[in-house]
Structure 1
């Protein structure tokens, strides 16, 4: 998905781990406490307006598109992320997922993104994003006016026809005071450093993006049960590089192979997926690693691969760890030991010169990131 980045986020609202704000059957996902409830329209005429810098709670039917309105100026990029949350016990297949697109008033696509459950066909939160970008490399969708965020499900033929909870996040990024390079860096250190060792510091992850637990470089440990998803956030200033590995401990109970048991995903500050990796589990200890990523740089947005172009903002990046519900069928529904190893490399650099921000709330977050407010907190033992 070739879409733009997002406003830089360094702060998130804290929620008790495992808290939920869903109506009806409790959800393992913790929505932002300030999320505004909205209903997606079945057409553009009744579409509710989304404001950059705001989080929303909605729902996604099994069929059909739902629309939200964006009233945009011609001075900033705007991004919309949608996190789909199937209910525990839902039936999902590898091809099921969510698609988000931003369209102009003439129905032309500015960008779109699709995410599916892939081999980890376990009901869990997944997010996709799309953008209205103002770029020197394209003239599409640059004018001010009305745009629409369109959300739909994909590949639902084998899924249960249930409605998914949906968390929407809209944000914006101002233009630069002066245009710089319009191509991605050609070279960067892609070697993996030696993994961190030592006893882990206990740190159970949050249950959503808003409640993600802040970690810095270090070794972190928790106990995770099948079907659970942990959210961690890692502050990354400009110029820093992230390396992350998740490890699942051995089990003396049960037996057999759980396919796609452990999944480790990395999302950027706009909640856009940068990269992910998964591994099977057979009762012995297993590890999964995010391949080396480039240092955070504004120019990364001009790269073609998602895993490079997604590393375009300073701010809080999210490591999301999921243990598939199927693991319980072979190893019981008790917890398994989880170890998260995080290393932050590179050297901090000054960020780009932004011209301003379309909203005060957005501006405060952006300035915090540029001035180094995303310092590495919560450093663990090594």
Structure 2
């Protein structure tokens, strides 16, 4: 059994030094009428209608009880979930494949969120034994972005069979957790079910890879224009190189990069200065997250933004099949060959910090290192199932 709330990964490169900000206190004359006082106060800019991920796939309606849970098969699904509700989905799993289910909620960027708003995912046997669980949350108050993670039922041929490795009926539960002061609107849900073939009987998946090693210099070539997608399915393709895009407050942009066995990723996101803004400091105003092949959270980093140049970086261990069984939370997400996803976010409440043009330029510098290694020895077509390069 494996239960975790992840926030794995190693820290990025040195951040840009943030300059001091002078805050001028405006004093209203005594007796100024309320109407004039309101007019004299600086207007708070409205959060723009940012481009938002629209989940795609087969529409499914999660049930309020396990007995009524609708069946899921490998593929993409959409649903929606209100605060305080828990819904269930049913899976019929064999005793050889490893199965991975990701669930993401997509709040409106203009919605109000509080500390700890998010989801609780559990994958359990029909008898109630929890095989895996995750609790993805938005973070600080106002940190609105797609929030999700993956849970797995993983077969390890070198370990004794247990309740979570037997063929039978399993249940995926998704609970929406939210503070009373947060927006009560339903979140659209993006659900992805991936079934990974088991290994051949004499498979030799190799050792774990738990060391990042030396960090290389990021690519300094001229950046290519490449705007990220709004979700996983529209993620823009990137490889070793530099790429330029932009964000407006409330937007998250996705990029995908292929990592084969033995390869590791070094990525840096540079959020440009935004002259003409208020200079207001927004904690965790900019963010960089990395998700693995099954869309599980791998690295999650965020930094304060006040309109000055700021950089965030992620460094990973080499991809190795047995990393999924590692005790290190920094290595465990990197047990799959295939697509990995980088997501860059600009919080909605940076709207006043961002200058008059309303956007912040982002440069993404990506480097894939390492020679490709042999796979673990799958018994089926792993590439067709979404695993591999």
Q: Given the two structures, how large is their TM-score scaled by the length of structure 2?
A: 0.82
Given candidates 220, 223, 226, the residue that maps to 2:246 is 223
Q: Residue 107 of structure 1: CA displacement?
A: 1.2
1:240 aligns with 2:266: no
1:213 to 217, 230, 236: 236
Q: 1:205–1:366: structure 2 CA closer, same or farther, 3 Å change rule? A: closer
C-alpha spacing 1:354/1:366, structure 2 compared with 1 (3 Å)? farther
Per mean C-alpha deviation after superposition, the further-off stretch among 279-288 and 302-311 is 302-311
Residue 44 of structure 1, aligned match among 66, 70, 79: 66
Q: CA 1:170–1:95 in structure 2 vs 1: closer, same or farther (change >3 Å)?
A: same
Q: Does 1:364 align with 2:384?
A: yes
Matching residue of 1:188: 211
| CA distance in structure 2 between the aligned counterparts of 1:40 and 1:199, rounded to whole angstroms | 47
Contact 2:63 2:88 (C-alpha < 8 Å) held by counterparts: yes
**Is 2:346 aligned against 1:323?**
yes
* Contact 1:120 1:278 (8 Å CA) reproduced: no
Distance 2:63 2:312 in 1: 40
Q: Within 5 Å, which residues of 2 pair with 1:230-309?
A: 230-254=253-277, 255-290=279-314, 292-309=315-332
1:331, CA displacement in angstroms? 2.4
Gaps of 5+ in 1: 5-24, 375-382
**Alignment partners' CA distance in 1, 2:239 and 2:173:** 35
Q: Is the 8 A contact 1:101 1:131 kept in 2?
A: no
Give the SS at the match of 1:156: coil
> CA 1:305/1:189 → structure 2, altered by over 3 Å: closer, same or farther?
closer
- 1:324 Cα shift? 0.6
- Contact kept in structure 1, 2:50 and 2:249, CA below 8 Å: no
Does residue 65 of the first structure (1) align with residue 86 of the second (2)?
A: yes
Q: How many residues align?
A: 341
Q: Cα 1:235–1:161, aligned 2, differ >3 Å: closer, same or farther? A: same
Secondary structure in 2 aligned to 1:141? helix
Q: Which has the larger radius of gyration?
A: 2
Task: Pick one of 29, 50, 53 that aligns with 1:29.
Answer: 53
1:301 is displaced (CA, Å) by 0.8
Pairs within 5 Å for 1:9-158: 28-32=52-56, 35-52=57-74, 54-119=75-140, 121-135=142-156, 136-137=158-159, 139-158=162-181
Shift of 1:30: 3.0
Q: Normalized against structure 1, the TM-score is what?
A: 0.84
* 8 A contact 2:262–2:371 mirrored in 1: yes
Closer, same or farther: CA 226–93 of 1 in aligned 2, 3 Å = same
Name structure 2 gaps, 5 residues minimum.
Answer: 5-48
Cα deviation for residue 283 of structure 1 reads 1.6
Shift of residue 184, structure 1, vs aligned partner = 5.6
Aligned counterparts of 1:257 and 1:232: Cα–Cα separation in 2? 27
Secondary structure, aligned partner of 2:67: helix
SS in 1 for 2:174: strand
